[in-house]
A and B are shown apart, each in its own frame.
Chain A
Amino acid sequence: MADKPDTILVENPWQTLREYTDARIGLGRAGISLPTRAHLEFQLAHARARDAVHLPLGFVQLQQDLEQVLAQAGLPGPVLKLASQADGRPQYLQRPDYGRQLSSSSQEALTQWMADSPPAAFDIAVVVADGLSSLAVQRHAAPMLDCLLTSLADTSLKVGPVVMVEQGRVAIGDPIGETLKARMLVMLIGERPGLSSPDSLGIYFTWEPASGKHDANRNCISNVRHEGLRYEEATHKLMYLLLEADRRALSGVALKDESDNGQPSLASKSGNLLLKTPNT
């Protein structure tokens, strides 16, 4: 349905300035309130963001996608599935500390797996966690891994086990990486959804992951999605971190991402529109 401009609805001619911003400017008004269409478009965006938080990640499908990507790269995997201590979404949302710890059965299973079938020598463990957006992980985790494996094929760095985690936070990669004895950890996790970005994937990188590491020990690449940072751009940044960390044996604040130095600024040519003088 569309709102019709008539005597009821006031439209704003400056909605044309939307070419300069994604902000919801020039929405018009019904009285002093939002027009029906603008109101319901907001509700739809919020519904998408809410579903990204609350709809469970389809782990069966994700496992198939990840295994296919690994097989194409000639990697054996395996793809494991673990769970955090958080029992369901409400608890996950209220107790971030639970989301950072493996459940006791998952910790036991992982330790047992390492004892029974230790992986061949590898450099990088990959952890994929639902985080705050199952949509982001469902949509972007496998293609992002695919893009990364393509770039890694030209290097000597080897990818080992891939671990999926249910109700996981970023720091849960530390006990997993520690148990796997990984030199490096790449975590793919769903970020807190924005109203206009429900499917944003975050990538966290840690050198020698171990329980008790802090945020300052990690590097973050944020906003991976079609309308944000593309897979190729994210891979470019991540490869810089992986190769530098391999050389310098560190990650976090001491390893600054300088992969995009010299990138042109996004600042527009138009400047401060409000100071334009008439007829210019």
Chain B
Amino acid sequence: MSYQISLGQKSWQFNDLKSLLAKASPLRSGDCLAGVAALDEQERVAAQLALADVPLKTFLNELVIPYEADEISRLIIDRHDALAFAPIAHLTVGDFRNWLLSEQASTAMLARIAPGVTPEMAAAVSKIMRLQDLVLVASKCQVVTRFRNTIGLPGRMSTRLQPNHPTDDPAGVAASVLDGLLYGSGDAVIGINPASDNTEAVITLMKMLDDVIQHYDIPTQSCVLTHVTTHIEAINRGAPVDLIFQSIAGTEKANDSFGINLALLKEAYAAGQTLGRGSVGQNCMYFETGQGSALSADANFGLDQQTCETRAYAVAREFKPLLVNTVVGFIGPEYLYNGKQIIRAGLEDHFCGKLMGVPMGCDICYTNHAEADQDDMDALLTLFAAAGGSFIMGIPGSDDIMLNYQTTSFHDALYARELLGLKPAPEFEAWLQTIGIFDQQNHLAYGNQSLPAPFEHVIRGGH
């Protein structure tokens, strides 16, 4: 079905729903690269006006990728919860924005409708929202998940401690873990991107992180971010696997390029559940996503990159993850060119994820060939934290020496927490206070040239 709109002397026609969604997307380089972006600013707003008049029900009938052609389209339709959808079933996309901003859309109501919101509905409404809308509505959404601690409670923001090292050197990894813990980081996960995907090397890192968590009795979980099949193999070999990681995308073909499908994720999820290593819950999956991944796999089917991205959240929520992380600025300037595009994409992803009931965090990051810098990251971090983002990354001095990009530092997390009064996950907060890293007001408890007693031996032993 095509969509028309006339404004003054000019009129526009959009051939189908996916073209309307693409043309309504705020400007980003990846949609230009894909050849799906609006040709000019007026066409973009015309598409947004036309999109605002589309009933939400249309998204259940006109699929952007055919049901027969894509297992994620089938997942979206087969799993759609009509009862949850009922309170918003009569709305258009434009009405939906108004409703989300209204007092009717309480935290409880937003949780109730989440299983009735499809990725395309979330993407559509986000395209006609300003940053402040994305922040305000997301801040009303609450998605709480549990493994050895509780992520996503109001007034809390967690951090992934990311102790990457170019050669997976145990001492080098340990030095970054220590740095992170002593700055109060690591409640979302202590998660390493390994340099090697060799199963034995991965298991060595898994054991190392597990040893640290057990030795210091830290209420958190570990993850080595390797392929899901390597996790399954590690579980079979008896490795201490807390969270199972996988990068996911929003089309079957893109996931195929990652070497995964829904059946494989189901197998991995089942393997994690049988371990039962969580203490306060069993959300055992950790997914990463990012706008542009489908196009880079030549698997976007004429969709804009943000709509593709939201479809990945349908995959994520099927497996009740502890954490979903949009790695927003890693992919490079051919998808998100500058700080403005990265900031908007991060807030869109967080909003759409939360609206769909996904525990959304954000790797607030950039590469050195993007038109972005630390000021842009500060802006996104501040907005993301204000929007109630579930977690961010934490890395020594923002410099990932293994992946060669810049993400948020341990200091950055403390900034956001201090500015907005945000606390870590409650179980981790109690541990930080008990072990002497934080005081009762959650300020760093140790002073110049000192460190908490349980860690003193690390330095003395080294020299």
CB distance from A6 to the nearest CB of B (A): 8
Q: How far is the CA of A266 from the CA of B172 in the complex (A)?
A: 11
Given the contacts A14-B179, A42-B399, A274-B177, A192 and B367 also touching, CB distance less than 8 Å: yes
Is A194 an interface residue, CB under 8 A from the partner? yes
The residue of chain B having its C-beta at the shortest distance from the C-beta of A132 within the complex is: B369
Collect the chain B residues with CB atoms within 8 Å of residue A49's CB.
368
Collect the chain A residues with CB atoms within 8 Å of residue B447's CB.
10
Is A18 an interface residue, CB under 8 A from the partner? yes
The residue of chain A having its C-beta at the shortest distance from the C-beta of B411 within the complex is: A34
B415 to A33, Cβ gap below 8 A?
yes
Is A32 an interface residue, CB under 8 A from the partner? yes
A16 to B462, Cβ gap below 8 A?
yes
- Using an 8 Å CB-CB cutoff, how does the interface string of A52-87 with B read, 1 for contact, 0 for none? 110000000000000000000000000000000000
Is A268 an interface residue, CB under 8 A from the partner? yes
Set A265, A275, A279: member contacting B212, Cβ < 8 A: A275
Is A96 an interface residue, CB under 8 A from the partner? yes
Collect the chain A residues with CB atoms within 8 Å of residue B409's CB.
34
Is A13 an interface residue, CB under 8 A from the partner? yes
Set B29, B32, B208: member contacting A272, Cβ < 8 A: B208
Q: How far is the CA of A52 from the CA of B411 in the complex (A)?
A: 27
Q: How far is the CA of A95 from the CA of B398 in the complex (A)?
A: 28
How many residues of chain A are within 8 Å of chain B by beta carbon? 59
Q: How far is the CA of A130 from the CA of B171 in the complex (A)?
A: 36
CB distance from B153 to the nearest CB of A (A): 22
Q: How far is the CA of A279 from the CA of B151 in the complex (A)?
A: 37
Interface residues of B in 421-463 (CB under 8 A from A): 443-444, 447-451, 455-463
Is B333 an interface residue, CB under 8 A from the partner? yes
Is B174 an interface residue, CB under 8 A from the partner? yes
Is A206 an interface residue, CB under 8 A from the partner? no
Collect the chain B residues with CB atoms within 8 Å of residue A265's CB.
167
Set A27, A268, A271, A274: member contacting B178, Cβ < 8 A: A274
Is B404 an interface residue, CB under 8 A from the partner? yes
Is B285 an interface residue, CB under 8 A from the partner? no
B401 to A29, Cβ gap below 8 A?
no
Is A155 an interface residue, CB under 8 A from the partner? no
CB distance from A217 to the nearest CB of B (A): 17
Q: How far is the CA of A42 from the CA of B399 in the complex (A)?
A: 9
Collect the chain A residues with CB atoms within 8 Å of residue B334's CB.
93-96
Is B374 an interface residue, CB under 8 A from the partner? yes
- Using an 8 Å CB-CB cutoff, how does the interface string of A151-178 with B read, 1 for contact, 0 for none? 0000000000000000000000000000
CB distance from B32 to the nearest CB of A (A): 7
Q: How far is the CA of A10 from the CA of B174 in the complex (A)?
A: 22
CB distance from B186 to the nearest CB of A (A): 12
B397 to A34, Cβ gap below 8 A?
yes
Is A22 an interface residue, CB under 8 A from the partner? yes
Q: How far is the CA of A11 from the CA of B374 in the complex (A)?
A: 23
Is B176 an interface residue, CB under 8 A from the partner? yes
Is B165 an interface residue, CB under 8 A from the partner? yes
The residue of chain A having its C-beta at the shortest distance from the C-beta of B444 within the complex is: A32
Q: How far is the CA of A45 from the CA of B397 in the complex (A)?
A: 12
CB distance from B3 to the nearest CB of A (A): 28
Q: How far is the CA of A5 from the CA of B450 in the complex (A)?
A: 13
CB distance from A190 to the nearest CB of B (A): 10
- Max chain A CB contacts within 10 Å: which of B176, B397, B398, B460? B397
Collect the chain B residues with CB atoms within 8 Å of residue A280's CB.
461
A275 to B368, Cβ gap below 8 A?
no
Is A277 an interface residue, CB under 8 A from the partner? yes
CB distance from A256 to the nearest CB of B (A): 14
A46 to B458, Cβ gap below 8 A?
no
A197 to B172, Cβ gap below 8 A?
no
CB distance from A93 to the nearest CB of B (A): 4
- Max chain A CB contacts within 10 Å: which of B165, B167, B174? B174
CB distance from A248 to the nearest CB of B (A): 25
Set A16, A24, A195, A279: member contacting B459, Cβ < 8 A: A16
Collect the chain A residues with CB atoms within 8 Å of residue B404's CB.
192-195, 197
Q: How far is the CA of A52 from the CA of B367 in the complex (A)?
A: 13
Interface residues of B in 378-420 (CB under 8 A from A): 395-399, 401, 404-406, 409, 411, 414-415, 418
- Using an 8 Å CB-CB cutoff, how does the interface string of B23-41 with A read, 1 for contact, 0 for none? 0000001001100000000
CB distance from B274 to the nearest CB of A (A): 28
Is A112 an interface residue, CB under 8 A from the partner? no
Q: How far is the CA of A1 from the CA of B375 in the complex (A)?
A: 23
Is B169 an interface residue, CB under 8 A from the partner? yes
A274 to B399, Cβ gap below 8 A?
no
Given the contacts A32-B411, A34-B411, A49-B368, A14 and B182 also touching, CB distance less than 8 Å: yes
B399 to A271, Cβ gap below 8 A?
no
CB distance from B339 to the nearest CB of A (A): 13
Is B211 an interface residue, CB under 8 A from the partner? yes
A194 to B368, Cβ gap below 8 A?
yes
Q: How far is the CA of A132 from the CA of B332 in the complex (A)?
A: 12
Interface residues of A in 181-211 (CB under 8 A from B): 192-198
Collect the chain B residues with CB atoms within 8 Å of residue A274's CB.
174, 177-178, 212, 215-216, 458
Is B373 an interface residue, CB under 8 A from the partner? yes
B396 to A23, Cβ gap below 8 A?
yes
Set A14, A45, A267, A272: member contacting B451, Cβ < 8 A: A14
Is B14 an interface residue, CB under 8 A from the partner? no
Q: List 14 A–B pairs whose Cβ atoms lie within 8 Å, in order of A's numbering.
A: A5-B449, A10-B444, A20-B174, A21-B171, A25-B396, A52-B368, A95-B334, A265-B167, A270-B171, A272-B174, A272-B211, A274-B174, A274-B177, A274-B458
Q: Known pairs A194-B404, A195-B399, A278-B460. 18 more at Cβ < 8 A?
A: A13-B449, A17-B171, A20-B171, A23-B179, A23-B397, A46-B406, A93-B334, A95-B334, A192-B332, A194-B405, A195-B404, A195-B406, A196-B401, A268-B169, A272-B212, A273-B175, A274-B216, A276-B461
A residues with a Cβ closer than 8 A to B are: 5, 9-14, 16-18, 20-27, 29, 32-34, 38, 42-43, 45-46, 49-50, 52-53, 93-97, 132, 192-198, 265-268, 270-280
